[in-house]
Chains A and B, each alone.
Chain A
Amino acid sequence: MPGSSKSGGVGGLPSPPHTASPSRPLRPSRYVPVSAATAFLVGSTTLFFCFTCPWLSEQFSVAVPIYNGVIFLFVLANFCMATFMDPGIFPRADEDEDKEDDFRAPLYKTVEIRGIQVRMKWCSTCRFYRPPRCSHCSVCDNCVEDFDHHCPWVNNCIGRRNYRYFFLFLLSLTVHIMGVFGFGLLYVLYHTQQLDRVHSAVTMAVMCVAGLFFIPVAGLTGFHMVLVARGRTTNEQVTGKFRGGVNPFTNGCWKNVSHVLCSSQAPRYLGRKRKPHSVVVQPPFLRPQLTDTQLAAKVLDNGIHGDLHRSKSSLEMMESQSCDAEPPPPPKPELRYPALSRGHQGQHTEESSLLNKAPPTPTMYKYRPTYSSPGKNHTALTHAYANQMSRGDSLKESSSLLQSSQQPGFRSEPSLDGREAPGERGGGGLGGGDRPGGGGAPGSGGGGIPGYSLGGRSYPSFSDPTVLSSGGGGGASHSSSVRSGSAHNATHVSEATTSTSYKSLANQTPPPRNGSLSYDSLLTPSESPDFESAAPDMSPGHHRTPAPPPILGYSSPYLSAQLSQQRDAELHQPSASSVALLSSPHRAHYLQESHPHSHHSQPPPSSAAPQPPHPHHHHHHHHHHHHSSHSSRPPRFSRPPLLSDSAAPHHYPYRTRSTDTPLAPSTHPPRSPHPPPLGKSLSYSSAAAAEMQYRMVRKASASAGGGGAGGGIHAPKDEIQMKLFSRTNGQPRSSISSSGSTPSSPSHPISMSTRPGQAYPSPGNTQSPAHKPGGGVKKVTGVGGTTYEISV
């Protein structure tokens, strides 16, 4: 068949697969459904033609077998096209293309399609941002354009190029089955006296097969007719992307149908004959004449153009992704102990993949694995780890998620301070490196494992102090090693610079769970999301309980812990929510992503309904179960009732294996960043974070009765703020509120490394001050992370 790039299983023999990636193992089980389908189709029809048709052509007219023959030919042709035709596989991107996107590029890119924000996800296998409607098929290990689903009956993905043939195959098969059944019935009705004859018996057998297959096939046909009319793909329908929303890809029923049936055959991307470049490029090269304005711009440009670009892009991304922001889900207990989880991949695959599948952090805070050679070790390791982690249905997406989250730049420690005090960071990092499991080799500076482990842990394991500390420590060591100029670490630094703000804003790092009694006693996973939403919470003007200090924009684990302590009671209140705001939308996405048919997914982020944090925890578990029973669940959409019970044909919706995320809710409450009040900021988001922090501190001081902490907060020092608050973790509420002025000490450059190092391993330190009587004692964190108690 023209355009085929892979062999099918027609004939029923497991022939060696001719696949895009030569390393694919032979999997005969893949060919069972297609072989069975072929066998039934060809076998039954042949029997029909041999046993039933002769009598029919004599009795009625020769047109009967001719008609059936034509229909059958049509069925076969479409079946072959659907089976052998390249569905629209994207070739892997070149390495050069990946580099262009830079190391700090986020996991998602948002693009506006007819006014609707659509997220494009980074495909770690194919190394590009998946175009809209594209999805990566894990069975075929390819990104497919306009991915519909992976059909086991044809053992091929159904995508842009072959959807038409698949649809026509279904239509023609339905007609064919009806014809065979009908004419067989006619035969039987005329031969009721001779039912013991072979011909009658065969006809009845064929009728049985036809009748049996009619129900699922007709149901599927009806389903696809609805999809075509609506301009949706199976993937979009099953994952509920446009449920309750607008489909930006529809052009109206008529145009949708004509596009499917009448559009020109889309071209193949793979296996094209590459014309060699016959054009010779030789210097000297022409240069355009610079206009006066351009010259002036050049003169004024002092080399920060690149930075402006970066900050601009971050700004754009932030704006476009503002409605995309989702808080990370509560940390998974498994990921608290990375070594453990790594050791028990099989056990935790479901959970970890469950976690990984969700976009726990706002999209812009995720980073794709780097492609450059220095980072290759890192990437390879992240790949390995991620692949280990995600064995279940989630596939490339979760691994990419994990990989992205494992980026060293994703540390909880912003690198801004690291730059200023590399020594301390390094020290802190080493100290933090002693953390069990989490330490990895933070001092090794940029090794693949530490990088990934740090990122991975700090990201998903919400409440893992180990991860966080190691993440912080590792980050510190990374940043310090960056100074030494290692390319690998340079990426981390570059990530850290621009996205310090990303990190801090996104910093979902939850309060540490183990090793810190105070945290454990005070925190539950469901509470952690509260802190993440601090930042967005500020801007929408969400009302927070005045007593505890306002949540910082950058939730650090310490901060989270402290806040959780303070707002123990309030955690479960619906009003608590910017947390809910962030976490629920995030949750919804998470749910939607991992469970295409999860009816339990929370209302889309647009609703932004504040929900008590606790349900998150339940949802997590629910997710878990949901995920495990993923394959056996019927899809959520209104399936034709015919399909309710059938066996095989139903599997195809579950075989989607697409890792596309649902449409980003456009109505998600956006974070409105404000210009930073003081100081310089490397990026807009960091400035915004600083601003939010500033406001929070102001609020805190106001509520605390004039702590006077607001002053002296500089954008680059926002992390210091974080540290300060984290430092005060474990302190009783009263002391916290009275220590509203603690942020004033941010003017001191505080090393972040020390913080994680000390905060986690020595909960006692924080605890003892925590038990201090609240009256008249102010806790101030000074240089080096030491805490001073000042009596007011």
Chain B
Amino acid sequence: MATEFHNLQELRQSPSLATKVFIQRDYSEGTVCRFQIKFPSELGSRIERTLFEDTVKTLNTYYAEAEKVGGQSYMEGCLACATAYFIFFCMETRYEKVLKKISGYIQEQNEKIYAPRGLLLTDPVERGMRVIEVSVFEDRGSSGSSPSSNVSSGISQR
């Protein structure tokens, strides 16, 4: 006979992952890192379109900045050559710096916008910059009550 009691609060506090939505890369301009701004339908009921699109657009600008071939990257390359690439042990490359910025941005977006809506963005770099993974969490608020009631009814019948 099971003597477990399931607290409704407990059930509420661990939202389960319902699904994952993947935002694919936009290759229309070549292999430059860009993500599709198309709003996936699965998120239609979870987040406003504008918020999501803003996030993706900002990420795109970050990546464009990271991959920009300009003065800073040129100087970095020359310096690396001159030091036989030992500089890479000491210094962070431009791309890495921007990736850190992106990571911070995603964290902030998660905290402010996505987590309250039961979503979670995963940094694309963890997926090889192929997709933006959006984890959609199940809204336990509605489903949390039934299991607990079942359990309690089951126990009460003993």
**Which residues 98-119 of A sit at the B interface, judged by CB distance below 8 A?**
100, 111-114, 118
CA distance A114 to B29 in the complex (A): 6
A23 within 8 A of B: no
Are A259 and B69 within 8 A (Cβ)? yes
Chain A, 336-359, contact with B by CB distance < 8 Å: what is the 0/1 string? 000000000000000000000000
- Name the interface size band of chain A: 35 or more
Interface residues in A137-180 by Cβ distance below 8 A to B read 145-146, 164-165, 168
B39-69 interface bits toward A, Cβ cutoff 8 Å, 1 = contact, 0 = none: 0010011111000000000000000001111
From residue 260 to 285 of chain A, which have CB atoms closer than 8 A to chain B?
A: 261-267, 269, 272, 274-275, 277-285
| Measured CA separation A274–B128 after assembly (Å) | 13
Q: State whether the Cβ of A93 lies closer than 8 Å to any Cβ in chain B.
A: yes
Chain B residues with CB under 8 Å of A284's CB are 139, 141
Q: Which of B72-114 contact A (CB under 8 A)?
A: 72-74, 76-77, 80-81, 84-85, 88-89, 93-96, 99, 103, 107, 110-111, 114
Judging by beta carbons under 8 Å apart, are B85 and A77 in contact? yes
Q: Does B126 belong to the interface (CB within 8 Å)? A: yes
Q: Is A267 a contact partner of B74 (Cβ separation < 8 A)?
A: no
Which residues of B have CB within 8 Å of A145? 128
- Tell whether, in the assembled complex, residue B128 and residue A263 are in contact, meaning their CB atoms are under 8 Å apart: no
Q: Are A128 and B130 in contact (CB under 8 A)?
A: yes
Chain B's nearest CB lies how many Å from the CB of A471? 32
* Interface pair A100/B140, CB less than 8 Å apart: no
Q: Is B117 a contact of A285 with CB atoms below 8 Å?
A: yes
Q: What CA separation (Å) do A259 and B13 show in the bound complex?
A: 49
The answer to whether the Cβ of B115 comes within 8 Å of any Cβ in the partner chain is yes
Whole-angstrom distance between the Cβ of B66 and the nearest chain A Cβ: 7
Q: Does B158 contact A (CB under 8 A)?
A: no
Q: Identify the closest chain B residue to A288 (Cβ).
A: B48
- Least Cβ–Cβ distance between B16 and chain A, in angstroms: 10
**Most chain B C-beta atoms within 10 Å of own C-beta, residue among A112, A249, A261:** A261
A281 touches B22 (CB 8 A): no
Known contacts A262-B77, A264-B66, A279-B110; is-contact A285 B88 (Cβ 8 Å): no
Are A97 and B20 interface neighbours, CB within 8 A?
yes
Would you call A285 and B85 a contact (CB within 8 A)? no
- With contacts A3-B88, A74-B84, A263-B69 taken as known, whether A279 is within 8 angstroms of B31 at the C-beta atoms is no
| Alpha-carbon separation in the docked complex, A118 to B25 (Å) | 14
Closest CB-CB distance, A295 to chain B, in whole Å? 11
Of B80, B96, B114, the residue contacting A267 (CB under 8 A) is B96
Say if the beta carbon of A42 comes within 8 Å of chain B.
no
A261 touches B115 (CB 8 A): no
A286 near B69: Cβ-Cβ < 8 Å = no
Bound CA–CA A265/B81 (angstroms): 12
Residues of B within 8 A of A285 (CB): 46, 116-118, 137, 139, 141
Q: Does A248 contact B (CB under 8 A)?
A: yes
A91 within 8 A of B: yes
* A287 with B117: CB separation less than 8 A: yes
Interface size on B, residues (CB 8 A): 63
- Which residues on the A side are within 8 Å of B116 (C-beta)? 285-286
How many A-B contacts if CB must be within 8 Å? 159
Bound Cα distance A81, B88 (Å): 11
A262 adjacent to B30 (CB under 8 Å): no
Q: Are A283 and B118 in touch, CB under 8 angstroms?
A: yes
Known: A275-B103, A287-B45. A100 touches B20 (CB 8 A): yes
Closest to A80 in B: B85
A113 contacts B30, C-beta separation under 8 Å: yes
**Which chain B residues (118-158) contact chain A, with CB distance < 8 Å?**
118-120, 123, 125-131, 133, 137, 139-141, 144
A281–B15 CB distance below 8 A: yes
A309→B44 CA distance, assembly (Å): 14
A131 at the interface (CB under 8 A from B): yes
Q: A294 — which chain B residues lie within 8 A by C-beta? A: 44
In the assembled complex, A783 has its CB within 8 A of some CB on chain B: no
Determine if A96 is an interface residue (Cβ-Cβ < 8 Å).
yes
Q: Is A132 an interface residue (CB 8 A)?
A: yes
Q: Which of A100, A265, A272 contacts B95 (CB 8 A)?
A: A265
A258 at the interface (CB under 8 A from B): yes
Q: Is the CB of B27 within 8 A of A111?
A: yes
Interface status of B28 (Cβ within 8 A of chain A): yes
Q: Does A2 contact B (CB under 8 A)?
A: yes
A263 nearest CB neighbor, chain B only: B69
Q: Are A279 and B28 in contact (CB under 8 A)?
A: no
Q: Which B residues touch A248, using CB under 8 A?
A: 30
Q: Which residue on chain A has the smallest CB distance to residue B126? A: A274
* Contact indicator A269/B128 (Cβ below 8 Å): yes
- Does A300 have its Cβ within 8 Å of any Cβ on chain B? no
Complexed CA–CA distance, A286 and B29 (Å): 35
- The residue from A73, A100, A168, A281 contacting B115, defined by CB atoms under 8 A apart: A281
User: Which among B25, B84, B117, B128 has the greatest number of chain A C-beta atoms within 10 A?
Assistant: B128
Tell me whether A91 and B139 are in contact (CB under 8 A): no
Closest to B50 in A: A288
CA distance A585 to B60 in the complex (A): 37
Given contacts A262-B77, A281-B115, contact A267 B125 (CB under 8 A): yes
Does A90 belong to the interface (CB within 8 Å)? yes
Which 5 A-B pairs give the minimum distances between C-beta atoms? A285-B118, A77-B84, A2-B88, A90-B128, A264-B73
Please, could you name 21 A-B residue pairs with CB atoms under 8 Å apart, sorted by A? A3-B88, A91-B126, A93-B130, A96-B20, A113-B30, A133-B31, A165-B85, A262-B73, A264-B76, A267-B96, A267-B125, A277-B110, A279-B120, A281-B119, A282-B115, A283-B15, A283-B118, A286-B116, A288-B48, A290-B45, A309-B41
Given contacts A77-B84, A267-B99, A288-B46, 6 further A-B contacts (CB under 8 A): A93-B127, A111-B27, A264-B94, A269-B129, A282-B115, A283-B139
